[in-house]
Structure formats: C-alpha cells, structure tokens
Structure 1
Amino acid sequence: MVRIEDYAMVGDLHTAALISTEGSIDWLCLPRFDSPACFNALLDTPESGRWILAPEGGGECTRRRYRRHTLILETDWETEDGAVRVIDFMPPRDEVADIVRIVVGLHGKVRMKGQLALRFDYGHIMPWVRRDSHGLHAIAGPDSAYLVTEAPLRGQHMQTVSEFTVKAGERVPFVLTWAPSHVHRPRSVDAESVLESTEKFWRVWAGQSKVTGPYKDAVERSLITLKALTYAPTGGIVAAVTTSLPEQLGGPRNWDYRFCWLRDATLTLQALLAAGYTAEAAAWRDWLLRAVAGDPADLQIMYGIHGERRLPEMEIPWLAGYEGSAPVRIGNGAAGQLQLDVWGEVLDCLSLTRNSLLKHTDEAWDVQVALMEYLEGAWDQPDNGLWEMRGPRRHFTHSKIMAWVAADRMVRGVRDSGLPGPADRWEALRDTIRDDVMAHGYDAERNTFTQSYDRPELDASLLLIPRVGFLPPDDPRVIGTIDTIQRELTEDGFVLRYRPQESDDGLPGDEGVFLACSFWLVEALLGAGRRRQATELFERLLALRNDVGLLSEEWGVQSARHLGNTPQAFSHFALVTSALELHQQRTGRSDRPLASRAGRA
C-alpha cells in the first residue's frame, strides 16, 4: 500500500509527477497540470499506467531527499549486493516535456528492473509502441512519447521492461519525452547536461529568497513546492497536482484540484512578497486580473491555469480511485457556485498589491470599482460559502465579513491613495455589513462567531477575522471564538474546517483535519498573545510533513495519514506566512505586506 505521504514531486513549471518511495512514477499529466494523465496508478492499479525503476527485489527505498535548494529527487536503496541511487527530475520546460531518471551505482552491484506502462487519457488508451534506433516511440491520438536509454528494453505483457546490472560508479540514464503526435520527433536531451542546468536553475531561484532563521529550511522547501505548482506561461498557481485523492479513505469527497482558486489570492501574494519573489507575485496578480476580467457578476471561485471559466465536472468510471475511494472526478462543478467571499478576496489582494508598491495610482482600479458596485447589490444574498458546500445556500458569516473587507479596502483606496470613488457610500455600507454580522453571525451567549447566521455551528474561517482586520486580534470576541474552536472544532489540537454531520454540506461521509486551518489557528493564537501555544502548534504541524517536506490538504488523526490532494498549495502558503509571523512575534493584516523583518523566519 502506497500512502499519500509516500509521494514526492518533480516538475517542470508546466506539470508535475508524483514518485513513490518504491521508485514508481504513479501520476503524471501531460503536457499541462490539467491535461489527462498518462500515469494513473495513483488512482487505480499499476496496469492503469506507471513507470517504476528500482532494484529487482523491489520494496521501499532506504532513504530519499531533494538535493538542497532544488526539486531534484534522489532515492537510495541498499541491498545485499550493493547500493544504488535513482535521480529523478524534470528540466524546466522548453518546447516539449522531459522526465529524466538516472540510475547511479554507489557501491557493489545491484540488479535493476524498470517497467514502463504508458496509458493515455487517464488510463483509457493504450498507445501503439514501436522500437527505433534510440529506444521506444509510443503514440495515441494527440500524444506521443519517446524513451531514450542505452539500457536493454523488451516488451512484456503490454509494458516495456528493462533489466540490467549497475556497478559502483556507473550511471545509466533514461529520458522520457512527450510531444504532440503531429510534430516531428523532438531532439533528445543529454541527461547529464540537463541535470546540471536544472540544478543551477533551482539553486539560482532559491537563492533569491530573503528568508533566514530557525524555520528557513521548511519555508524554503514550501516555496520551492509552490514554485513547482506554478504554471510558468501564465503565472497561475494550481491548488495541487492531483485529482480525487480522498478527504476520507473510501469515501466520495474526492475533487479535482488542478485549477487556480481565488480564495488563495491574498495569502499567495503576501507569502511571495515577504520571501522576496516579486516576479512570481506580479505574475500571480496579472493572472488574477486577466481571469476576473469581464462582467463582475460572473466572478468565479476558481479558474483554469489560463483563466478558463468552464471546468465541467465528470466522473471517470474506469479508475477505481485511491484505495477504492470513488468516484474519480475531473473538472470541478464548484466553479459555478456563488461564493460572495471571492469579491472581498480579490479586492483584498489588489489592495495588498497597492500597499506593497506604495503607489497612489492603480491601473486596475476601474476593475475594482466594477466589482464593488456589483457587490453592493449582492452582499446580502445567501451563498455556498468558502468551502464550496453543495447543500442549501446560507448566509455564511465569513462571506459577509469578506464583503465588509471589500468595502473597507475600497474606502482605503480612496482615503489613503487618493483614488476616485464614493467613499462615503462605501463607508456606510461597511458599517451596515458590520452591524449585520454582529447581529446575526455572533453568539453573545457563547461569546463566539458562528459559521452562518442565527445557527450554532462553528467554522475554521472565523479564525481569519483578525487577519482581515474585522476585529483586533486581542478583542474578547476573537479570543472567545478561538477558545470555542479549540474546544469544539479540533481533533488532537488540529482544526477541522467544520463538522460535516452538523453543517449540511450536501455530501455523505467525513473528512480529516484541515492543515491550512490549523496554521490559521497558529496565527490567531499569536495575535492573541499566546506565542508559546502558537509555536508548539506550528512545530507539531511541521512534524506532519512527509520525509521530503510536503503537505497534503488534510491529516487523518485516527489513521495518522495524509488525506486529500497533494502537495497542497493552501497548506504550504499558510506554513510560510505562519513561520514569518512567528519570527516577527506579531501578526499583520491581510492587506499589508509583512514587515521587512518578517523576511527572517
């Protein structure tokens, strides 16, 4: 059984592959993050497509690591006869996609076995495969792939098998190249040359970071992971590289996360700016502005990596699902939901940009005014909420608070930056929304905010109240909410998004604790003056990372396993901002850049 945390990632800034501790590439979509997968064993059996390269005896590796400051994976096995290493990486994309695997003999001699099973279109299509002078050529519809190696190859049971012995000091490269089937065969890369150039690329990129201090290594690994989740041509950042990894093992809460969520916008920008990655921050902001262009009423919660709006959801019945967790879904039907918080998220993000640049002009101001004018007439409607609930629409407290955020940021744009707009009207709206939230979203008897109006359930998004500036972090009502969430919405000290059985989210089953929400609790505790508690929780969360520093979406307290899609951008961005604020020993508002000292984690 391969656990979710047994996977490491390599990528080329267009897509990414997941590689298990057994040396098997079990997930890879080509040519983009959101393309159909050609290796699908993650969500089914090895027959649905994988590429394993390991000692003949198989089994988990002895150890593995990323080369420092890079996304180059090194996996070692020690056997009775010797030791061997497999180096896995994807060179930053040029015209085509390459995945490179180099087998290195460390000492003694090791008998190796490789098995390559390409299965395009999520395992549905078996390609035609033929030998040529360089290795193999596989073709199926729009896809073609070329395997180049000096190792022996043979066909067996609809797979390509390679068996060879590697001795100390020997290096045996394999290069798998994808290209559109209608173009001529692309040039083959030299494995050792692109290893050198790929290592240089990542070391130069990591060297731009301003982060130092006790959490530097954890923050750097998260930043490299986030860079790998970035689609370089557009600057869009996918939520994860996978689809349908379950929030409950064997359950139906399985979603496609290979898209870009607006809820991540401000956290993304704040983390990138604080760490010194201004080019990536600018690219994300530009992606955001392109994606939201159009009728303000049509703002979506998520978009494709090019800003696509139509993300139709469908099920893939021929894949059994991770550990039988069905259905496997591609596309995401939640894209069409009404989530009023995204208007506030976008305006908060653009306010952060303006404040970070200390600009009194804003070329995107007209867009912001249009978004605000729409929200003025829509903020009091029920919606699906931050968590994309598929039950009845409600008046979610977080959605109303983010409408308050929208009005607040627009007022500040006029008052502080001299931009044109009806500040008095927006101030009045801000006050109206605040009064509405306090009347219906706050339970004075329990001294806590609640998930939705005039109902008792809790929600982790309430921990963001001080972050967005709705109330100060040491306000008694914020403290009361923190205490109630710790008492009623945690398992083993980690935070649930909400309790599905109580919240009528329209779905059966349950889910694990949500890692990003647990990092929100770190920030809330820090803001409340409970630094020791915040630090202890943060370090417990760090301990949940896998052996190469990756986090998925959720953690199963009872199973002690990662759950949900992986690696999860939301978890890693929250890790970065929590680390920076812990070092700074104070929290900041979401629309303000973290102070320069916060660059030291």
Structure 2
Amino acid sequence: MKIERESLNYGIIGNCKSSALIKKDTSIEWCCLPQFDSDSIFCKILDEEIGGYFKIECNKTYKINQKYFRNTCVLQTNISDGENEFEVIDFMPRFKKENGKYYTPPEISRILKLKKGKPKFKVLYEPKLAFASGNTRTYKKEKFVVSIVDDKKYETLFLYTNLDKDAIINSYENELRENIYFVISYNEKINLPSMDKVFFELDQTKVYWKSWCYKTPTFQEYNNEILRSAMTLKLLNYEKTGAIIAAATTSIPESIGEVRNWDYRFCWIRDASMVIKVISKIGHTKMVKNFIDFILNIIPDKNEKLQIMYGISGEKNLTEKTLDYLSGYKNSKPVRIGNAAYLQKQNDIYGILMDAIHFQIQKYSNEDDKHEELWSIVKSIVWVVKNNWKLADKGIWEIRGDNMHFTFSK
C-alpha cells in the first residue's frame, strides 16, 4: 500500500459531537474525544512519528478503494488482491432512540467484513492521548485493551474487540476467517459488545443519515456533490448547543512549511452564519433554529458586543498555546490549540449575521417564536455598526499585526 502524504485526502465520520479523519489506507489519523474541542486520541496528521493512529495493514499486493455508503457518513474501504477480499467499515454511532433522544456516545466503531478468501492483515493500534503530550501506555485486560496517560492528564481509552487482544498489542499478522469488530470508547467502560450489536448500530446510523438526506431537496445537477457537502456541514454541527465549527482540525497550514496554522475547532459568527443560510435553503430547520438559539445564548446582555468567534459551548476565552513537541503537518510548525483571534475586531461579522437572521425571519415567519429576542439583537448590532464601521480592524484574514482598513469590512 503506497501511502500518499501529498494530499489531505481523508474521509470523515462523526456524530455531531466529534469526528474522525481516515485515510484511504484505513489509518485513523485525527480524532478528538469526547467532543470536537477535546484533546486528541489520534493525531498522526500533525506528527508522523508520535501522533498516534489506528490502521488495518495488508501487504502491497492488495488494492484499496474507499467510498461512503450512499447518502451516509459511514465510510467503506474495500481491500482486495483478487483472491482475498474484505471491507473496513468505519462510523460513529448516531441514531434516535425510543425515547426520542439521539444516541451519540464518544465511540468509534470499526468492522472488518469478510467478503471472500482468507485475507491477511495486521492491526496497528497506537493511540496517543492528550495530543501525544504524555506517555500513553496500552495493555490488555480480560474484556478490553486499555490505553492510559497519567503523567500529564489522566485519560483512558477502551478498545473492545472479538479479535485476539495479543494480535493488537503485538501487531502480528492475522487471517480473517470471520467478521471482526472494534469499538473504541473514551473514558467509559461499556457492556461487552457483540457482532450483532455493532451491525445493529451500523444499520441504525445508516438509517439516520439516509433519512437526513431524504429531507434534503433533489437538485438536477451535482446532486451527489451537494448532498455530500451538506452532510459534511451537518457533521461540523455541535448539536448540543447549535454551534457550527469552521473545521474539525487544528493547525493544518494555509501554506506548507509556513506558520499560519490555526485551530479551527470553534464557531466563527461569519462562517457559521453563511453555513446556516445554506442549510436553511435546503430545508433543515432544526439545525437553523439550534444555531439561532446558540446566538441568543451567547448574548445574554443584548448590549454586549459580539466576539468574532466562540467555543462550541459558548466559551468566550479561547486562549491560544502552542504544542512545540509536535512537528506539525508536513513539518509546518507550530501546532496550536485555542485561537487568539477571539480577541480581534472584525467589522464584517455583523452584516453577515444580520443577513442570516433576516433570511431566518423571512423564511420561517410563521414558525419562529423568537422574533422579539432576535429584534433585540438586531438593534444592538445596528448600534455597534453605527459607532464602529469607520474604524480599522483585523479583517476577514485575521492579520496579527496592527488594525487596518479593509474593503471587505466596510
């Protein structure tokens, strides 16, 4: 298997609390649990040597093809040498339970589904908790494989599987004779899974995403591309609060080898407002209303100025620090967590938010019961704009020098 490091060609899975990035060769190289802005459990994308990953490895004679199950965020990787063949299926459970609440545990599920023959494979399981900042120790117990890091920050990862645990600890070659499951659980021991249970959660997760897509209009042109883009935007929605993050990652550089490497796991008012306008146009009203609630909740005082960005739970202090021990994506340092841009002034955010609110009121004028609260925000925004629009700012490019006058901000 030739590993191509020249592109960011990753599949993404998620459950609207967190997500994971998976390369074509099955390597999970980025995941933060239990939520988007948590510390990572795998971050090989930011350091090839110490970042940590989870990969199913075969010899070079096997060909690999990766795609999503149609209209889902479930990733399907087919591995075959012609005579032997199996699939790696990756997903994060998300479906509605009988009580009407969504089941979104801090888990990653991985299935090896035998298609034909007796494929040989190795499990390369190297979690590195807390952004690989401490010494992660992985060892087997009776019911699971456990990984802990306790010299910096106590965290625990449990891996449940029906594969011989020694095959995971020692990475020796296996022959796939039956379907295999892996369930990663963050900080929580769970009841011992079964193959049937994992397949059930897979089917339920597929049903959820297919249902979500069914509620999306069909377009005459580029329908598949539009659906995939819409699902990706949905994955970036932290459903608990309604926040929409700019990206699932931190410190992917704007230019390889340069220093403009930012943490985008936060909610930018500008970006999220643009997303919400698109989501509103394709009819997903619940996601739109959740974001409006997020805006209402982060401005308890209607005279309070908007920050350009907030944490996914409405945090206002997003202090930035660098992780200098990580080499960065393709040696692009530094790796950052937090984002000092939260202190910046960017005058354009008000108009874009106003546009989203206006669109919301027009489209759902008979359904929305928050018009008065929204009107209070609008009046506050108008007051701020009236008194600040002529002033210099950092602009949409978030320059880290002196304030300047930008056309886009006017």
Note if contact 2:307-2:345 (Cα within 8 Å) is conserved in structure 1.
yes
Q: Does 1:144 align with 2:153?
A: no
Matching residue within 312, 317, 320 for 2:324? 317
Amino acid at match of 1:388: E
Tell me, in whole angstroms, the C-alpha distance in 1 between the residues paired with 2:242 and 2:346. 23
Matching residue within 185, 192, 196 for 2:199? 192
Note if contact 1:179-1:186 (Cα within 8 Å) is conserved in structure 2.
no
Which residue in the other structure is 1:563 paired with? none
Unaligned stretches of 5+ residues in structure 2? 95-101
Amino acid at match of 1:24: S
SS in structure 1 opposite 2:8? Answer: helix
Which residue in the other structure is 1:387 paired with? 397
SS in structure 2 opposite 1:109? Answer: coil
Q: Does 1:251 align with 2:258?
A: yes
Which residue in the other structure is 1:76 paired with? 78
Which residue in the other structure is 2:134 paired with? 125
Q: Does 1:369 align with 2:379?
A: yes
Which residue in the other structure is 2:92 paired with? 90
Tell me, in whole angstroms, the C-alpha distance in 1 between the residues paired with 2:147 and 2:312. 27
Q: Map 1:38-57; keep pairs closer than 5 Å.
A: 38-55=41-58, 57=59
Tell me, in whole angstroms, the C-alpha distance in 1 between the residues paired with 2:146 and 2:134. 15
Percent of pairs with identical residues: 31
Tell me, in whole angstroms, the C-alpha distance in 2 between the residues paired with 1:218 and 1:95. 26
Which residue in the other structure is 1:444 paired with? none
Matching residue within 292, 298, 306 for 2:305? 298
Deviation at 1:14, TM superposition (A): 0.6
Amino acid at match of 2:311: G
Deviation at 1:54, TM superposition (A): 2.9
SS in structure 1 opposite 2:296? Answer: helix
SS in structure 2 opposite 1:326? Answer: coil
Which residue in the other structure is 1:242 paired with? 249
Could you list the per-position Cα deviations for residues 18-71 of structure 1 after superposition, in whole angstroms to 9, with x for gaps in the alignment?
10111100000011111111101101024321111132x158852111001101
Against the structure 1 CA distance between its residues 154 and 143, is the aligned structure 2 distance closer, same or farther, given a 3 Å change threshold? same
Which residue in the other structure is 1:346 paired with? 353
Could you list the per-position Cα deviations for residues 511-568 of structure 1 after superposition, in whole angstroms to 9, with x for gaps in the alignment?
xxxxxxxxxxxxxxxxxxxxxxxxxxxxxxxxxxxxxxxxxxxxxxxxxxxxxxxxxx
Tell me, in whole angstroms, the C-alpha distance in 2 between the residues paired with 1:266 and 1:30. 26
Tell me, in whole angstroms, the C-alpha distance in 2 between the residues paired with 1:300 and 1:320. 31
Could you list the per-position Cα deviations for residues 101-151 of structure 1 after superposition, in whole angstroms to 9, with x for gaps in the alignment?
111222222101111111111011233434222221223344222111121
Which residue in the other structure is 2:98 paired with? none
Note if contact 1:61-1:75 (Cα within 8 Å) is conserved in structure 2.
no
Note if contact 1:2-1:20 (Cα within 8 Å) is conserved in structure 2.
no
Matching residue within 103, 109, 115 for 2:112? 103
Which residue in the other structure is 2:182 paired with? 174
Q: Map 1:473-552; keep pairs closer than 5 Å.
A: none
Unaligned stretches of 5+ residues in structure 1? 401-601
Deviation at 1:179, TM superposition (A): 2.4
Note if contact 2:25-2:64 (Cα within 8 Å) is conserved in structure 1.
no
C-alpha RMSD of matched pairs (Å):
2.1
Amino acid at match of 1:154: D
Tell me, in whole angstroms, the C-alpha distance in 2 between the residues paired with 1:86 and 1:242. 23
Note if contact 2:62-2:81 (Cα within 8 Å) is conserved in structure 1.
no
Which residue in the other structure is 1:9 paired with? 12
Amino acid at match of 1:334: A
Amino acid at match of 1:8: G
Tell me, in whole angstroms, the C-alpha distance in 2 between the residues paired with 1:11 and 1:4. 21
SS in structure 2 opposite 1:161? Answer: coil
Amino acid at match of 2:69: R
Tell me, in whole angstroms, the C-alpha distance in 1 between the residues paired with 2:6 and 2:186. 28
Tell me, in whole angstroms, the C-alpha distance in 1 between the residues paired with 2:326 and 2:226. 35
Deviation at 1:396, TM superposition (A): 1.5
